[in-house]
Structure 1
Amino acid sequence: MNTEIALKNNNTHRATPDKEAIALLPVFERLGLDRITLVSTGAQAGKAYDQLVAARAWGFDTESKPTFKVGEQSDGPHILQLSTAERAWVFQLHEPECRAVAAELLALGGGIAKAGFGLGDDRKRIIQKLGVEPQGILELNNVFHQRGYRKDMGVKGAVAVLFNQRFMKSKKAATSNWANANLTESQLVYAANDAYAAIRVWEALGF
């Protein structure tokens, strides 16, 4: 079946694959550490900026330190992930110069799409912490709705539909402390690949 043709058929309601079906699929090839750049200083952020603005779209996501107490407010995001189809950059937002470049990137217009899943909360936190309104945000779940999928589509479902593959996500990494100054390798891989998968989905949707 030509998945792209199926996705463009707006008159057909299509089923989102369930967890059991996805579990049987071959694994989606993720970015390794050799294609992930940690950005924690102003100088590193400047280099990342120069490379990112050459692309016409980025996969986009953020991570925040989890909150566990009732009523506890997050001061995230602590991490911003931006990715092209070749490389991902993981920005740590505790350093002022790095945070300023991240804000500048998110505020860029010029037709650069920032594509991801479940971006509503990310947008609110970015406005609160970075003081900018992200431009060019593309919620990929909405695209799937427009193309005939009734249920909400996250990154796992999207990768299954478009690539017939299983996207791996570590629960341990997801709930780890993203405010740590020293991120682990598993945190870097987790964060970078959320953004990487989003840009791959964006490309496969034919934008």
Structure 2
Amino acid sequence: MTSDPDALLPPYDGITMAKVRMVRSEQDAAEALAALSSTDVLGFDTESKPTFLKGEQSTGPHLVQLATDEVAYLFQIGGKPAGAAVEVIKAVLESTTILKVGFGLKDDILRLQSKLGIGTHNVLDLSNALRKGERNTLGAKTAVARFFGQKLQKSKKITTTNWSLPRLSDKQILYAADDAHVALRVYRRWRSEQAAAKAAT
């Protein structure tokens, strides 16, 4: 008998590689900006190379993920990031008209400010927004179980990989894309359930 109530849930399928875009060229950046700017809400997350030594400072984020309902855009921002990709990230995150949603975004926001000087506006941290009287913040796994009745696989092995590598593995790409995309899917479901409940009263 398992003690994990989510263990018997069907797996959450997640996003596919066909719906992920790595933003590398100026043309990629232009296409990403057009898509990201034309939506009302985006899924948002970042990944940073983990630190293992006491007192070691993170040089992250090394990857920024922004997802529309259809596509997740991944921006690699290594040592001294500059150029079109950073301009897109800045334009989107500093926009007051596009809502950005994600889980546990406090550190992501602080690191973006520290590394790129980007101030974020109109951001909703679902970890706090979705709490129903729970004392602790709510994670993506719990949210997926609650809203979709599915189990979100979060591999610790992938989480702690080197996100600063110039070329990421397919597993890293899918993991990162899912982090942003699942937040948007959860948000959409949450809002639709709120609207349905309001209509029923």
TM surpasses 0.5: yes
Q: Is the 8 A contact 2:48 2:164 kept in 1?
A: yes
Correspondence for 2:88: 101
User: Corresponding residue for 2:121?
Assistant: 135
Residue identity matched to 1:108 = S
Q: Which amino acid aligns with 1:170?
A: S
Paired position in structure 2 for 1:113: 99
List alignment gaps of at least 5 residues for structure 2.
Answer: 193-201
TM-score, normalisation: structure 1: 0.86
RMSD value, Cα:
1.6
Q: What is the deviation of 1:159?
A: 0.3
Q: Verify the 8 A CA contact 2:45 2:102 in the aligned structure 1.
A: yes
Query: Counterparts of 1:41 and 1:174 in 2: how far apart (Å)?
Result: 26
Is the CA contact (8 Å cut-off) linking 2:46 and 2:63 kept in structure 1? yes
Q: Deviations over 1:83-124 (max 9, x none)?
A: 1221111111134112232122211112x1110111011110
Q: Extract unaligned runs of 5+ from structure 1.
A: 1-17
User: How many residue pairs are counted as aligned between the two chains?
Assistant: 188
Q: Could you tell me which residue of structure 1 aligns to residue 149 of structure 2? A: 164
Q: Which residue of 2 aligns with 1:71?
A: 55
1:154, 1:41 → 2: CA distance? 33
Distance 2:26 2:115 in 1: 18
Choose between structure 1 and 2 for higher RCO, CA contacts under 8 A separated by at least 6 residues.
Answer: 1
The TM-score, its normalising length taken from structure 2, stands at: 0.88
Contact 1:56 1:113 in 2 (8 A): yes
Counterpart of 2:31 (choices 19, 22, 47) is: 47
